Amino acid sequence: MLSSDQVKDFIEFEKNNIISLLKELVLIDSGSHNFSGIMDVAKVVITELEALGFNNTVYEFQQAGPNLVSEIKGESNKSIILLGHMDTVFDSNAQDLNPFRKESGKIYGPGVLDMKGGIVQIINAVKALLYLNKQKYGIKIILVGDEESGHLHSNALDLFKAESQDALAVFCCESGRTNNQIVLERKGVGTLTVEVKGRSAHPGNELAAGRNAIAELSRQIVKIHSQYTDPQADLTASIGIIEGGTTVNVVPDRAKGIFDIRFKQDKSLKDFLKFTNDLAAQPHQDNLETETIYINEYPPMAKTAESEKLLHFVSHLSKNNGFGALKAIAVGGGADSTFFSASGIPTVCSFGPVGKNAHTYDEFIYEKDFFDRIILLADCLLNIDLAELN
């Protein structure tokens, strides 16, 4: 195993530059809808990585921020993927509400945790690796510009698929969690839209002729909730939006409900969709029609033997560095890492700098943990070996 002391010395020497780069990135407004701001983040990253010998490819879109793939070849044709995103959830007023500053061991700013700190971590870890001239595998840095808006208008999903063909492992540098928790399991995420069509009528004179779409939708919501709201279960469904009716003295002929769906296994999703289709096919009255549309956002991330091996390796390095052992956890939210783990690549997620309050005006990272995570990622790149992970 290669010593991490040189990594530590290098990062120590670079500390001021690292903080300057973090500040530069945090000060750029790159909310998901601010495409030029996201491009400005990409430009800063490209300047840094070009100087290290990376090839950079930018993909631009009409209705989404750009995606960036930066690549450097290694001795082996296998590569390690460092994954993240350049967009944030914030508008420009966040710079006033949570200005970039250091305060009692914390660094504040919009997107500092989710995930500009992770971008700086990635850049500086590869800088340390290349400085030590110990690069064995290729490195691909994939930073998307539309993570927070769900990749509806970009090539992100195709990109993940294409770039993962020769991947040895994925480190997703999303917001790090406190207490050394690393995410190895995530629930799959999707939405189910249930749209009911009935018949409008005057509720005073022709009530029997009407077909109440809201009543039918309500029946289906109650049935779905009675079966699928146990948080411990394999799948949960939660109604999030309902729409229906025009005015109070008309029997409503339309109603729509949208459910948030979280699931651990594809099979439970399949069973659930059969349940909702059966429910839709048996309305409480004739002449009520239901259409259901399911849209999958993220596949589930299951804890695989490969990911556990990768975490074991990372945790060992973390202990060696005096940062403590890492713990695997399962969470309910989706992330881009799930697309890689779903295709069988060893993946650790939430490996970025540790902090709190992501997506709020109190967002911060811990300064010490920030540098520790850069050292740990560099140490992983330095010591990772295909033979150990298989």
69 versus 172: smaller Cβ distance to Zn ion = 172
Residue 363 within binding range of Zn ion, rule CB under 5 A: no
115 versus 122: smaller Cβ distance to Zn ion = 115
Least gap, CB of 353 to Zn ion (angstroms): 12
Pick the piece of the chain touching Zn ion (CB under 5 A) from 134-142, 168-176, 190-198, 213-221.
Answer: 168-176
Least gap, CB of 372 to Zn ion (angstroms): 20
Residue 115 within binding range of Zn ion, rule CB under 5 A: yes
Give 156-213 as a 3 state SS string: HHHHHHHHCCCEEEEEECCCECCCCEEEEEECEEEEEEEEEECECCCCCCCHHHCECH
Q: Determine the size of the site formed for Zn ion (CB under 5 A).
A: 3
Which helix (H) or strand (E) covers residue 262, if one does? strand 254-263
**Residue written as token pair 């930066």:** 70
Residue 29 within binding range of Zn ion, rule CB under 5 A: no
Least gap, CB of 313 to Zn ion (angstroms): 24
Pick the piece of the chain touching Zn ion (CB under 5 A) from 70-78, 114-122, 190-198, 301-309.
Answer: 114-122
Among 29, 48, 87, 114, binds Zn ion (CB under 5 A): 114
Q: How far apart are CA 292 and CA 259, in angstroms?
A: 11
> From the CA atom positions of the chain, what is the Rg in Å?
24
118 versus 210: smaller Cβ distance to Zn ion = 118
Reference 216, options 293, 291, 273; nearest CA is 291
Least gap, CB of 121 to Zn ion (angstroms): 13
Q: How far apart are CA 184 and CA 162, in angstroms?
A: 22
Here the tokens at position 303 are: 């804890």
5: burial class by Cβ within 10 Å (0-12, 13-18, 19+)? exposed
Q: How far apart are CA 214 and CA 198, in angstroms?
A: 9
113 versus 126: smaller Cβ distance to Zn ion = 113
User: Which residues between 191 and 250 bind Zn ion (CB under 5 A)?
Assistant: none
**Gap between the terminal Cα atoms of the chain:** 17
Least gap, CB of 382 to Zn ion (angstroms): 26
Least gap, CB of 87 to Zn ion (angstroms): 9
Which residue sits closest to Zn ion, CB atoms considered? 114
Q: Which residues form the interface with Zn ion (CB under 5 A)?
A: 114-115, 174
